[in-house]
Amino acid sequence: MIPVQGFEGQTVAVLGLGRSGLATVRALREGGAEVVAWDDGPRAAEIAEAEGIELRKLSRPEAFEGVACLVTSPGIPHLYPAPHPAIAAALEAGVPVDNDIGLFFRSFGQGDWAELDTPPKVVAVTGSNGKSTTSALIAHVLEHVGRDVQLAGNIGRGVLDIDPPADGGVVVLELSSYQTDLARSLTPDVAVFTNLSPDHLDRHAGLGGYFAAKRRLFAEGGPDRAVIGVDEPEGLFLAGQLSVAPEDDRVIRVSSARKLTGPGWLVYARKGFLSEYRKGRQVSSIDLREVKGLPGAHNHQNACAAYAVVRTIGLAPRVIEAAFHSFGGLPHRSQRIAEAGGVTFVNDSKATNVDSAKQALRAFKRIRWICGGLQKEGGLGPLLGDTGEVMKAYVIGREAADFAMQLTGVETEVCTDMATAVARAAAEAEPGETVLLAPAAASFDQYDSFERRGEDFAAQVEAVLGGQAQG
């Protein structure tokens, strides 16, 4: 646990008693704060009683008398489309609002750090797609060489629930726009921006607000090194803002779409090969085509970002390459779950938006595509240019018929539920084809998370294949 500093003897309010909220309560108490809390869920009283927490309805005008700070869980709106009543009440009362990420950064580095030979580092990863894989890959490479590393944030443990790092330890944080938008303190040693595509637009009042939330990690965080994906205009702009000169190697530009040139520090993947350039000269090259845990150009971008990070930490290219080959990938992200009769079954349930589904479609050939779900803003138009390898689409979700109608030029079948889609795709697939779950939509019309959707896909594949499947 990371005890929260700066609130000893003061009262702090916590809004939301999920995983991050409960970890925040415990870390605040460990640091000497008094805690009151509120959660709109039906189990709030039960959770509070089990933890010995005083429940206080924080939307009341008098709720913030004597309160030093309100700490809110990341999923609770604080500005758009409208602030939660408790957050509005705190702002009216002049009470600062923060989240667990802000508390982590204000508290990290306390205690016995003066006795450490090598201060621990924090690597923070944000962006629209690839955050989890990039974060996990960084942690995997560091584990491979025996470094003390912890994975936290949106993946792994809650940020305040981790152990105080050892000498030379590294904490790798995956951070969403919800987390970077509100945190009052952001001070990573290395910060990563993977890419940007439209997502969570209602929460940020548009694409500009969404990018601004991501940008805070760099503009206000002031990292020693910044690893920036420059395949979108926003990343290119951010890299330009952070650099003081073309040769400024505090900014490492990465790409999976083109060869990068210039005098700076560059890492790019082209035709399956990762290349590192510094001061206009090639430093190393890695063949990514045989790295089974990182299929497709989108994963090659993740590999470039992770490679750049661990290079800043001092690892050699050949060591990184060896670690890449032992990376198994993450569940629900281009995850090969079975093969039978020459047909491969891939679970990319995490492809919850058009851009991530587009990358999945680019990664495989001859695809039986299972898609559909709760559609996001913008429609499916941007996806249609990447459906050339789709043999047929099997559409699920409560609005499957409408989803299918948008897939112009693609043979479709409205299946509605996962069991039907998997059965039909498996029955029609031929050797050399891939049955790919890449929904291009959120899961909440039928499932409570993309993980549950991916698990259902895997279960239906197992049911259809029986004993034929090979892992």
CA 53 to chain centre: 31
On whether 127 is known to bind a ligand per the annotation, the reply is: yes
CA 311 to chain centre: 21
Sign of CA dihedral 353, 355, 360, 361: positive
Residue 376 CB neighbour total at 10 angstroms = 18
On whether 99 is known to bind a ligand per the annotation, the reply is: no
Tokens of 97: 């609002």
Distance CA 201, CA 191 (A): 23
Amino acid at 60: R
Length of the chain counted residue by residue: 471
Tell me the chain's radius of gyration from C-alpha atoms.
Answer: 23
Which parts of 145-267 fold into alpha helices (H)?
177-182, 201-204, 207-219, 233-242
Which parts of 220-326 fold into alpha helices (H)?
233-242, 296-312, 317-325
Residue 414 CB neighbour total at 10 angstroms = 18
Distance CA 409, CA 401 (A): 15
Q: 338 and 461 in contact (C-beta within 8 Å)?
A: yes
SS3 343: strand
Tokens of 227: 């690893």
Closest Cα partner for 390 from 357, 417, 414, 423? 357
On whether 195 is known to bind a ligand per the annotation, the reply is: no
Q: Rounded to 10 degrees, what is the CA torsion of 288, 293, 294, 296?
A: 100
Tokens of 289: 């085509």
On whether 128 is known to bind a ligand per the annotation, the reply is: yes
Closest Cα partner for 358 from 208, 159, 197, 203? 197
User: What does the DSSP 8-state code read for residue 199?
Assistant: -
On whether 350 is known to bind a ligand per the annotation, the reply is: no
- Binding residues for ATP, by number, are 127-133
List, as residue ranges, the binding site: 127-133
